[in-house]
Amino acid sequence: MAAEHTVTIDVNEKYTLTATMQRKIWLWLAVGLILFIAGAFWFVTGFGSEAAHGAGHAAAHGGGGGEHFNPMARVWANLWLNSVFFVGIAVAGVFFLATQYAAKAGWSAIIKRVPEAFGGFLPVGGVIMLVVYFLGHHDLFHWTHTGLYEKGGPEFDAIINGKAPFFYWPLSPEGGFPFFWLLRLVLYFALWFLVYTVIRKASLAEDQLQNRLDFRYYDKQVVWSIVFIVIFAVTSSTSAWDWLLSIDTHWFSTMFGWYVFASWFVSALATITLAVVYLKEQGYLKAVNENHLHDLGKFMFAFSIFWTYVWFCQFLLIYYANIPEETFYFKERLHGLGGVYSPVMIILALINFAFPFLFLMPRDSKRHPIFLKITAFAILVGHYLDFYLMVMPGTAKQYGGFGLMEIGAIILFASLFVWLFYRTLSKAPLIAKNHPMLEESLHHSI
């Protein structure tokens, strides 16, 4: 229902990425890099004592051995974990934008430039993931060891050999170059960024229209948003299999694609909320009111419950079936590997479900920036830990942990994401002045 009040906006308002802000971001980026390098150096050079302690701890708790563990695995795992997490936020932000166009939603027209700017991280994220793969693929993905495919050899693994075409087709796995897997990685980013660029260019061209009844660019964005949704519907699952599920090559879950999508999407919603609230507090987006914030809060609330539903269903089905080939995944995280990951499993359920469910249930809490900021930050922490549990047990084994290296990696990637977000955001007006639903958005009231 439209409110009967007048809203005055500056349609040419642009976000200014000041020199001071750039210095702050680059300072944080440098801090993150230093912490990451220091933490990595500390862990790798002190691995002898760490391994002795870890082996004893694992033995005491019934964990695995890890005699052949390469300490660099934890370094690559941190880089891979953060790459996947922030790429997921970026692409899920574009997905949110696409759903708004596909649904012809009006309320979000005033904030659409925020998720639109998330796409600026995609090409950088893609390059980082490729580099990290080539640097640490043997430590990240067990299936890259060619001995696993040599029938009759000491390392031959029948299960992984059966999955070889998924990684190597049309090449032979003995060649060691996973053509099909790498082709998919490149295609994901190419498709995502290509369609995003078409939507973005149409959005910017719409700003230049003199006739607001000219809907050609809006229609183009609707069509390409639907294309993006179709592409993302497939690639969000297949990329989750490639980048995360294949770390634990023996394990398989038919719900894994949905599970990762839910985690990516609610993280993107939390990031959009934080960005909108921050911009408003800085004096931008004055037309954003408590009704827009309420809708963002509802999205976070709804998709926190959706994530919990998928997470619990995946766990319950595997636990109830009690098939050893499946249950080892959760046993490692709950009780195995020296119990390193047990606390994270418990924190995960509390912070990703109980906290947003209870905190965002009242109407008022979804309409006040302070409540939204606390919840959005908690959601980001919780879902980072969710990805941590998907990557670390299969790569860092019982030598996982949370120290300088992990903190540095988060700061490093978060700073890079923020810099690219602000850089993209500052290149266009914050308000899409010729969006056909702008008036509806300005008077949005619920």
Nearest CA to 88 out of 315, 306, 302, 383 is that of 383
* Domain assignment of residue 326, yes or no: yes
Q: Work out how many domains the chain is built from and give that number.
A: 1
Cβ atoms of 138 and 132 closer than 8 Å: no
The SS3 call for residue 230 is helix
- 66 φ/ψ sector (left φ>0, alpha ψ -120 to 50, else beta): left
Q: Nearest CA to 114 among 285, 308, 349, 316?
A: 285
Residue 123 covered by a domain: yes
Alpha helix segments (H runs only) across 282-341: 290-321, 324-334
User: What are the residues whose beta carbons fall under 8 Å from the beta carbon of 137, sequence distance 6 or more?
Assistant: 144
Range of the domain at 280: 19-44+71-438
Query: Would you say residue 6 lies in a domain?
Result: no
Q: Does residue 226 lie in a domain region?
A: yes
Q: How far is CA 142 from CA 57, 96, 301, 395, in A?
A: 24, 34, 37, 9
Give pLDDT, residue 65: 45
Beta partners for 14?
429
Q: Which one-letter amino acid corresponds to residue 102?
A: A
> pTM here?
0.94
Residue 132 belongs to what H/E stretch?
Answer: helix 122-140
Query: Which helix (H) or strand (E) segment is 113 a member of?
Result: helix 113-118
Q: How far is CA 129 from the centre of its chain?
A: 13
Looking at residue 363, what is its pLDDT?
92
Q: For residue 420, give the DSSP letter.
A: H
Q: Which residues pair with residue 429 across a beta bridge?
A: 14
Report the C-alpha gap between 307 and 264 in whole angstroms: 10
- Within a domain: 310: yes
Predicted local confidence at residue 348, as pLDDT: 87
| Bond before 356 cis per omega within 30 degrees | no
Q: What's at 108, amino acid-wise?
A: S
Please give the DSSP secondary-structure letter assigned to residue 171: S
Both tokens of 250, joined, read 């023996």
DSSP codes, 68-87 = T--THHHHHHHHHHHHHHHH
In angstroms, the Cα distances linking 384 to 16, 267, 275, 419 are 29, 8, 18, 19
Please tell me whether residue 367 adopts helix, strand or coil conformation.
coil
Q: How far apart are CA 172 and CA 181, in angstroms?
A: 13
Distances (CA, A) of 283 to 287, 349, 367, 370, 404: 10, 36, 18, 16, 35
Residues in the chain, overall count: 446
- Given a cut of 70, the residues of the chain with pLDDT beneath it are 1-7, 48-67
- Is 328 inside any structural domain? yes
Structure tokens at 15: 């976000």
Q: What local confidence, expressed as pLDDT, does residue 306 receive?
A: 96
Q: Which pLDDT belongs to residue 2?
A: 46
- Say if 49 falls within a structural domain: no
- Flag whether 66 is in a domain: no
The answer to whether residues 269 and 296 touch, using CB atoms and an 8 Å cutoff, is: yes
